[in-house]
Amino acid sequence: MGIANIGAVILATAYHMVHYRFVQKTDGTPLSLNFESCCRSVLGTKDKSDIPLWIRIQDRIYQSSEGLKQQVILNRVADLNSAVFGEMCLVDSKGIQALLEQKASKVELSDITTAEIYDLQEREAPEGSQFIRGMAYWLAIGNHLLFVKTQSMSPALMHGYFDWLLRGKPTSIPDGDKFVLQAELDKSKISGDIGDIRNLRVKGGSTPQFVVNTVPVEGEIKQVRTSRKIADRFVEFKQAYPIVEALLGKAKAKSLVASLGDEEYLAVDASVRVRGRRTQESKAKLKELTNELADLTDGTVLIEGKGGKISDGDAILRMTMPFELSQSGSNLLDFNNVADQLQTVYSRFVQDGMIKP
């Protein structure tokens, strides 16, 4: 977090990743009505009392299938004329929050240990309120979606919300049309065709470290190994486990985890091979893989092309930007500033030829 001095006003700022997705049908064809227009149309839909959805927040609450207690609420949402911009709140409808009460007391913890401690408590949210577990600020322009997510908010939750909000509604996405939020590769990181990509490498201090080979590599074996070295390069367990499970299956992954010592960590080295001449189908699968990596991690994704050359910088089309906070130390971003910053990123991507307006 930093401090930006704008005139006489000092504003707290924080840096967040701006993610990009292109909205299209699952078969790669365009939507019958672009994503921005779908959002605007559905939000303008009136109920029997002639009240549009813009001002019916109770009808903008989605019960997430990922957890019976989780809800996603489209809170503030605005038509900017050139775009639709909004914020989503992930809330825990029956959640409790752990608190450290800084009132010291002496407690006997074992036969030989008496220690002074603070009490730990868990409390429900005050009546009429809910704990926020994550936020997403999003901007829809045409079929382009740009967003910033915080805490436990995920692209999967956002897709689930948009699918619930838009699909099957009049003047929106037909019920039979499934759509994806497709991540894209940064064109400046690809020297040739997408089929020239040999490997996708993921790195980052707190993200899964692994390589996905997209062409044959002789003698390479899928393996999951443990190490007793404790360093930043090892992933957090909750991020590594889905990869281990995908490679070994649920039963073997569970068995491996059960065998780990107290200070052992999982390090993942995955290999996916594509044999023979690259086809349109395998290129499509590579785009799916790009999407999965973009959803899985904010870590840097590097491309290894012909001759073993590795790209500089993140291969996924996204970028880090500064955002103003509602107040110093806050987890909430300034609504108007996020709208401006997301539009700035969109304009940059268009000017740099990364996307078409």
Q: Per-residue DSSP letters for 22-36? A: EEEETTSPPPSS-HH
- Single out the residue of 196, 203, 206, 208 nearest to residue 301, CA to CA: 203
Check if the beta carbon of residue 183 is closer than 8 Å to that of residue 158.
no
Check if the beta carbon of residue 301 is closer than 8 Å to that of residue 292.
no
Check if the beta carbon of residue 293 is closer than 8 Å to that of residue 246.
no
Residue 325's SS3 state is strand
- Single out the residue of 325, 347, 350 nearest to residue 336, CA to CA: 325
Looking at this protein, which amino acid is placed at residue 110?
A: S
Check if the beta carbon of residue 83 is closer than 8 Å to that of residue 139.
yes
d(CA 98, CA 65): 25
List the Cα angle 171/175/180 in 5-degree steps: 95
DSSP 143: T
Cα dihedral angle (5, 9, 15, 20), rounded to 10 degrees? -110
d(CA 69, CA 89): 14
Q: From first to last of its 357 residues, what are the pLDDT tens digits of the chain?
A: 444 444 545 578 999 999 999 999 999 999 999 999 999 999 999 999 999 999 999 999 998 776 567 899 999 999 999 999 999 999 987 778 888 888 899 999 999 999 999 988 888 888 888 889 999 999 999 999 999 999 999 999 999 999 999 999 888 999 989 999 999 988 877 655 555 565 666 765 444 444 444 444 444 433 333 333 333 333 345 556 676 666 566 776 777 677 666 656 565 544 434 334 445 555 566 677 777 778 877 777 776 666 555 566 788 899 999 999 978 878 899 999 999 999 999 999 999 999 999
**Residues 110-168: tens digit of each pLDDT:** 999 999 999 888 888 888 888 899 999 999 999 999 999 999 999 999 999 999 999 99
